[in-house]
Chains A and B, each alone.
Chain A
């Protein structure tokens, strides 16, 4: 297939300009809207994280005061979680590719889809408005009772997260409906690409869990504005209940972040191993398994909050249990590589980095899930390092892998693969330099969220800070290369990696109407016979 015209990116036959984008109901254009906006907020989040690290380069206030530091880590968390990592994979790749991968021309509710993006932007505007007004200093968790008392703009920040949650819910509803209603003829559930399975499982978590967070945030606002007293011990309320409601959502939210990333990896591994994925059904079921069991582990955030020993044991047990479906995925990916004809493409390198980093993240999670060790490690750098290995090393690297895998399809142009491979290596080194020392610091007792530290932590702190510089260098390399590629790279062929899924069987970039005729699906997503 040739590259004539610019497909859905072109303007012929309709007015161009910004309004043809921000009012478009085309799922591909909405995917690009999310891509641009989410990556912009990612830059904000990275900058905040970079400044936090830099502050710790010497003792005492270096570039900011303690209170500013509190606001910076709060905003870093809010931006990275709610504006970047939760929406990144489902909203960008899910929007762009889920309909194409199931052989549909759009999602079930295109206008609702656009509305989700507008809600996302409104929530983002509110969150960033607090930056100017006086950012919250509670941490992204908004724990009561401090969040009820502090003088900063907590209500606004909380409301921003509420609006972002609404956006997330609407996206979830759209995807579940789309998967049920718009699969092409022959596209049974067991022929769905694993990325679709992953987004489908994620969408269910978004629908079921997000409202709990939503109402919890409304309760915080009601507490702050009216003082209804449910979380306020002075009025007979109980702040621990806030923590329960918060983690009932926010632990499943961790899986909202990671499951789509696992889906991306499940797409990339078989393509670059030129082999049918090992254990297709096991991977699909494990997505649902993680979504299910992951809803029952929230108490492991609260082992030291005074919950009963029995509750601790139960939550610890479920925490170990949820590691099983995650491990099933890792073993299946590695099993797919065995005796494959491996092609070391850029997306594949990112996928390998993902497996390595995610394994460290997962195993440190088990260490934290053990009751007795948790008491020692709770609220230390060990926890910070663990969740960065999962969210950045896992979800983040999977997202980068997806960018390198799918951007040629989205833009119709190829980036420089040599630079991309180097950026992957620099990112990998920078990431480990930044976060591995934190594991050791945590074991040695360095508490999280402190803007200063004792002299014995200096060496590892400095190593970690240098790591942040390497990481940022890698990010700049990667993004400059991708942006150059998107605008000025050579034309990409319609199927540069030799993939078997439907999105690679149409031109790059796709036409406005994905399929002139809805395809009849006759084989599985990883059946490479007849390709190349």
Chain B
């Protein structure tokens, strides 16, 4: 690449980086708008089936996972607050806790999914075919939306891990921390989407 040709000064526009990130987060919301719209339309048509299917989900795990993600959002915010004060080590600890909480969320999700799959309730499964139409769609949307969200959790963990490496190597520091801040913003998005998915899928019955 032509380093001499790179306009390095342009890469240091803090407000531009933040604006770009916010616009990207807007597109992520758009991505989840689709399944939620489908959810609402199908819910209007099959309210009983949706409630019945929803009661089949484990609210306890859903609730624990909500707490886990909310806490991780707090630690993500704290990591940004720490780097602002120049406390690199504390920043790294908070990022580590955030990523770990993300991991716990995924483990819980794994047990939830495999529980359903063991009962044949998954697209293509034995029990799935026998479900009333509305319930099948509910679970179809459930697997799609939580699966897509799970991918975002993984992406968020990766982004935070990269931010941790950058922090440890000093590229992210007290003066220039926008990369970490954007990673944390992404993590908040992952959290917010879950805040919508949780009541939609777990609490309607």
Contacts and interface: CB of A to CB of B under 8 A. Distances in A.
Nearest to B28: A211
Interface string A210-240: 1110111011001000111110000111100
A502 B159 CA distance: 39
Interface in B125-169: 132-137, 140-141, 143-144, 148
Interface in B1-30: 1-2, 4-7, 10-11, 13, 15-16, 19-20, 23-24, 26-30
A497 interface: no
B193 to A, nearest CB: 12
Interface residues of B, number: 46
Contact of B5 (A14, A182, A235): A14
Contacts of B7: 25, 105-106, 110, 513
Interface string A191-209: 0000000000000000111
A500 B124 CA distance: 63
B127 to A, nearest CB: 13
A245 interface: yes
Contacts of A376: none
Given A110-B10, A177-B19, A236-B46, A219 B134 contact: no
Nearest to B6: A25
Contacts of B137: 229-230, 235-237
Contacts of B135: 236
B30 A210 contact: yes
A218 B141 CA distance: 12
Contacts, number: 144
B51 interface: no
A14 B4 contact: yes
Nearest to B140: A228
Nearest to A218: B148
A26 interface: yes
Contact of B143 (A108, A216, A228): A228
Interface stretch (A45-53, A83-91, A168-176, A460-468): A168-176
B33 interface: yes
Nearest to B129: A235
A108 B10 contact: yes
Contacts of A169: 24, 27
Contacts of B45: 238
Nearest to A236: B133
A281 interface: no
Given A181-B15, A211-B27, A230-B42, A110 B6 contact: yes
A15 B5 CA distance: 11
A219 B123 contact: no
Interface in A58-116: 105-106, 108-110, 112
Interface residues of A, number: 50
Nearest to B39: A230
Contacts of B11: 110
B1 A181 contact: no
Contacts of A20: 2
A13 interface: yes
B38 A245 contact: yes
A20 B2 CA distance: 7
A523 interface: no
B13 A210 contact: no
A222 B144 contact: yes
Nearest to B30: A211
A146 interface: no
A23 interface: yes
Nearest to B27: A211
A168 to B, nearest CB: 10
Contact of A108 (B16, B37, B41, B124): B16
Nearest to B9: A105
Interface in A499-516: 512-513
Contacts of A230: 38, 42, 137, 140-141, 144
A105 B11 CA distance: 12
Given A106-B7, A181-B15, A173 B141 contact: no
A241 interface: yes
A228 B38 contact: no
Contacts of A207: 23, 26-27
A15 B2 CA distance: 8
Contact of B16 (A15, A177, A215): A177
Nearest to A108: B16
Contacts of A209: 30
Given A108-B16, A110-B7, A226 B124 contact: yes
A173 B4 contact: no
Contacts of A244: 37
B16 A235 contact: no
20 contacts: A25-B1, A106-B7, A108-B13, A169-B24, A172-B23, A173-B27, A180-B16, A180-B19, A208-B27, A210-B27, A211-B29, A214-B30, A215-B35, A215-B148, A222-B144, A226-B123, A228-B141, A229-B123, A235-B137, A238-B42
Q: Which 7 A-B pairs have the closest CB atoms?
A: A236-B133, A211-B30, A228-B140, A215-B34, A226-B123, A181-B16, A229-B140
Given A216-B34, A245-B37, 12 more contacts: A110-B10, A173-B24, A177-B16, A181-B13, A181-B15, A211-B30, A211-B33, A219-B34, A226-B143, A227-B123, A235-B140, A237-B140
Interface of A: 13-15, 20, 23-26, 105-106, 108-110, 112, 169, 172-174, 176-178, 180-182, 207-212, 214-216, 218-219, 222, 226-230, 235-238, 241, 244-245, 512-513
